[in-house]
Structure formats: C-alpha cells, structure tokens
Amino acid sequence: MLLVVITGLSGSGKSVAINVLEDADFYCVDNLPAPLVPETVRFLRDNQHERVAITVDARSGGSLAGIPESLAALRSQGVDVRLIFLNARIGSLVRRFKETRRKHPLSDGTRTLEECLAHEAALVAPLAESAHVIDTSDLAPNALRAWIKDLVEVGQDNLTLIFESFGYKNGLPLNADLVFDVRHLPNPFYDPTLRPFSGLDRPVTEFLEAQPDVPVLLSQIGDFIERWLPAYRRDNRSYLCVAIGCTGGQHRSVYLAEQLAVRFRPSTPVLIRHRQLDTVARAQAGR
C-alpha cells in the first residue's frame, strides 16, 4: 500500500492536494481524526486499497503528537508512507483567508486570525519535523498540483533529491534543507540580450558555461551533497530539498539546479523545481 498523509496549516493548499490525489485514483479520506489513522489504514489495506491519501490537521488537537509514531508503525508493517506538510508564510495565509472571507477552523471568537494561525502552527509542529515540507507561499494551485503529482509518482528509494531554484528577493523557501547562495556568479540579467531568457535557455547556459567560477562551484556543491547524502539516508529521510538561490531566481540558480540534477539523476531519484519560473508562468497565465 502507498499511503500519502497530507497535513499543514489551514489555507496552505491541503484541499488542492487531496483533490489531486483523488483525481489520480487514490482512495481519499479528508480530515480524519488522528487517533483513527492506524485503524483506518489497516481496514483499507485489508480491503485491497493500494493507494490511499489522508488529510489530518489541527482540528484533531493534541492527538497529532502521536501521528509520527503511528506512521512509523505502519512503515514497519510494509506500508509505503509519504508525509507531506504544506506550509506558507503568515502574510500569504492571512491574504488567502481575507480573499475567501472564510473563518479559520480554530477561530473561537477570542483570537485574531494571526493568533489562530500561530496556535495552529504550534499544534502541527510535531508533524513538520518528520515530513516533506512544501512552501506554497508563492505557488499557484496548478504548480502545487504538479508538485504533489511528482512526489507521489517518483519511486521510493529511501530518499529523493529535490533541487529547487529560487530568488533571494522573494525570500528563502520554507521547505529547504540545504541552501546554496550563487549570487556571486556573473549575472546574465545585466546583459539586455540575455535578460528575457532563463537558465533553461541556451543563450544563458552558454554564457554561464563560459564563466570560470561556474564549473568550480557546481563541482564543490555536488561534492558536498555527495559526501553527506549517505548520512541523510541513514536519518531515514524520504526527501532532501537542496535550494539554489540567486537574486531573481531566473538565470543562475535555475542553471545550477538543472546541472546538479544531471549529476545525481543516474544514482538517485531526482525532482526539479523552479520557484520563480513557476510564479512567472502563473502571472502570464492570468493575463
């Protein structure tokens, strides 16, 4: 059985995620009380359900603290468990609640929205420690849907490497495990002929490949990851997110993320994400 457990903060995209999995023929249970997770999974497994997705959240209260142990027990019984935690910056969550005019699930009339979000974050914190975290602050629903599909479709090899490019001017991604700053490399942005392109396009890749420092930095970052990857595997990680940041997240970081993926793909399952390119695509699609 493949079991995907979706959790995280209200407004971060849990409904989008569970809908994606339902469309992918998962048997889905939304907002299951935490104490019922082991019993429900055993029942579904006994009834030949091979792909199951469950959402749990702060409405289960203090009982969430037992979820990591329950999932560990299911893994020991041969269940392929993927725990995905959706997170977002408080400002993004506040904006989403105001746009939809919905109340926070933990609202009781005595807390502000910001206080509800802080209280919820404290309740779900035990789950974030053992989950793969996705920062949805700047993600369009379509981008989140694609990321969820990638996570559940990749083969389970003990650990999947995720290379994610981002722009420092938009802030650090909340889901990063390792962060490498490549802003010291020559910036194609300052060449007007290269500015409209990205690190996926040949004019930019040729420019960067001609810079002496680029292959040196690529080799050193790759060597660091390769040296410590076995330690992350021993720590029973399912995913390791390596974030590569430049100023705008369009040129240098995109190129390096792609090249690192090429290096590791022959030996390790790899996913690639380009945060700012996804954001640009969202803005263009909305025009």
At 86, which CATH number? 3.40.50.300
User: How much is the pLDDT for 181?
Assistant: 98
CB 59 within 8 Å of CB 106: yes
User: How much is the pLDDT for 61?
Assistant: 54
User: How much is the pLDDT for 62?
Assistant: 53
| Distance separating alpha carbons of residues 253 and 265, to the nearest angstrom | 18
Query: Both 230 and 91 in a single domain?
Result: no
| Distance separating alpha carbons of residues 148 and 132, to the nearest angstrom | 11
User: How much is the pLDDT for 65?
Assistant: 75
Model-level pTM greater than 0.85?
Answer: no
Query: Both 115 and 201 in a single domain?
Result: no
Low-confidence ranges of the chain (pLDDT < 70): 60-63, 154-158, 279-287
Query: Both 195 and 54 in a single domain?
Result: no
| Distance separating alpha carbons of residues 97 and 10, to the nearest angstrom | 9
Query: Both 99 and 198 in a single domain?
Result: no
Query: Both 202 and 221 in a single domain?
Result: yes
Query: Both 167 and 113 in a single domain?
Result: no
Q: Reduce the DSSP state of residue 266 to 3 states and report it.
A: coil
Query: Both 104 and 187 in a single domain?
Result: no
User: How much is the pLDDT for 155?
Assistant: 59
The token pair at 11 is: 């407004």
Q: Hunting for tokens 């974050």 — which residue is that?
A: 121
Print the domain residue range for 172: 160-285
Q: How many domains does the chain have?
A: 2
Closest CA to 271 of 147, 138, 86, 136: 147
Beta-strand relationship, 160-167 and 239-246: parallel
Query: Both 113 and 167 in a single domain?
Result: no
Query: Both 264 and 145 in a single domain?
Result: no
User: How much is the pLDDT for 187?
Assistant: 97
Query: Both 20 and 139 in a single domain?
Result: yes
Query: Both 166 and 29 in a single domain?
Result: no
Helix or strand (DSSP H, E) at 4:
strand 2-8
Q: Hunting for tokens 């989008």 — which residue is that?
A: 16
